[in-house]
Amino acid sequence: MTDIASFVAVLPKAELHVHVEGTLEPELAFALAERNGVELPYASVEEMRAAYHFSNLQDFLDVYYAGASVLLERRDFHDLTWAYLERAHADNVRHAEIFFDPQTHTARGVPFGAVVEGIRAALDEARARFGLTSRLILCFLRHLDEAAAFETLEAAMPYREHIAGVGLDSAERGNPPRKFARVFRRAREAGFVPVAHAGEEGPAAYVREALDVLRVTRIDHGNNALDDPRLVAELVARQVPLTVCPLSNLRLRVVDDLASHPLRRMLEQDLLVTVNSDDPAYFGGYVNANYVAVAEALGLGAAELLRLARNSFEAAWLDAGDRGKLIDELAAAAGA
Ligand code: HPA
Ligand code: ZN
């Protein structure tokens, strides 16, 4: 391991932007395809992995939704989530806030309950075995309409206690946050914490709308917010967290190369920025690989890496006692 990799490895951290469907490794996809009698459009694991070349977000989404077709039963969602949690634990992730896309599954006839119960069982096991705590965030697919999002919110109500927040993902351009203003209002009234993907491919104006219209407390990605200095000033003043995903940005061509990634500028401007993996099975690395790749490309040192890990706890939905403990553990790990 490089010096950076071994430093990153010992830091306790939270992961706040990871889609459970995006943790489906080709090996597990093939195993589930066989178990469920589903055909994948690839002859082998190698061919599936070799197909992961994307020119933009939509290119990726086509492959990602096709991969999810192998997920049918409660135990499939359990096995998928468990595989992620083992990887996260190996990366010293102490707390994970995990997105899931119920509409991708209910559209294929999978019951909402099978999805949530399968994921939930794995989260409970990770807490018991690793002390890894977690929250679940239901994402609405923004390329679908408002009525479909309302139906999904209704389906979630019996599982209210298991779902901490709602988010917004899928194709950003042409699907502005305001399309879901009423759904988010209902979700907030029901006690879900609102977040949204914004400013990944969409403009700074979508970040502004996510804040003002959806009243989100955290922005997923947020790269293009940097185009609007007044918006940046507000994000800084309010310390609204940004969940940034460097390898995702690279693989979806949101940035040309990691050396031009905005993370250093975000840190310099005092944005509450965090590092996350997004869809690690598709983008070539779990959370530690994201820290290492961006640190190497931008020349980030120990102080900046420590700041990023600390930010992950500051931005997480933890109670004050747990947050304080994790930040103390981080300081001890960094000093050792
Ligand atoms: N952006 C939008 N939708 C997504 C992403 C992303 O990075 N990953 C999975 N769904
Ligand atoms: Zn995402």
102-130 per-position pLDDT tens digit:
999 999 999 999 999 999 999 999 999 99
Q: Is the pLDDT of residue 55 over 90?
A: yes
Cα→Cα distances 269→85, 126, 199, Å: 32, 36, 17
Select which of 15, 21, 25, 200 is catalytic: 200
Statement: residue 18 has pLDDT above 90: yes
CA of 300 to the centre of ligand 1 (A): 26
The structure tokens 């400013």 sit at 199
Calpha distance 102→119 (Å, rounded): 11
What's the token pair of residue 61? Answer: 């989404």
Nearest to 286 by CA among 17, 57, 49, 53: 17
pLDDT (tens digit, 9 = 90+) per residue, 204-253? 999 999 999 999 999 999 999 999 999 999 999 999 999 999 999 999 99
Among the bound ligands, the one closest to the CA of 198: 1
Whether pLDDT at 335 is above 90: no
| Residue 170 CA to ligand 1 centre (angstroms) | 5
Is the entire prediction scored with pTM above 0.95? yes
What is the whole-number distance in angstroms between the Cα of residue 287 and the centre of ligand 1? 16
Atom of ligand 1 nearest to the CA of 169: 3
For residue 154, what are the β-bridge partners? Answer: none
* Best of 57, 58, 200 for a ligand 1 pocket test (most atoms within 8 Å of beta carbon): 57
Q: Are 166 and 140 in contact (CB under 8 A)?
A: yes
Tell me, in angstroms, the distance from the centre of ligand 1 to residue 120's CA.
Answer: 21
> What's the gap between Cα 314 and its chain centre?
16
201 is a catalytic site residue: no
How far, in Å, CA of 58 to CA of 180, rounded? 20
Instruction: Count how many Cα atoms sit within 13 Å of the Cα of residue 218 in the half-sphere of its side chain.
Output: 26
Please give the helix or strand (H or E) that residue 265 lies within, else none.
helix 263-268
Substitution candidate for ligand 1 out of 58, 170, 247 with most atoms within 8 A of CB: 170
| pLDDT level of residue 153 (50, 70, 90 thresholds) | very high
- Looking from the CA of residue 279, the nearest atom of ligand 1 is 8
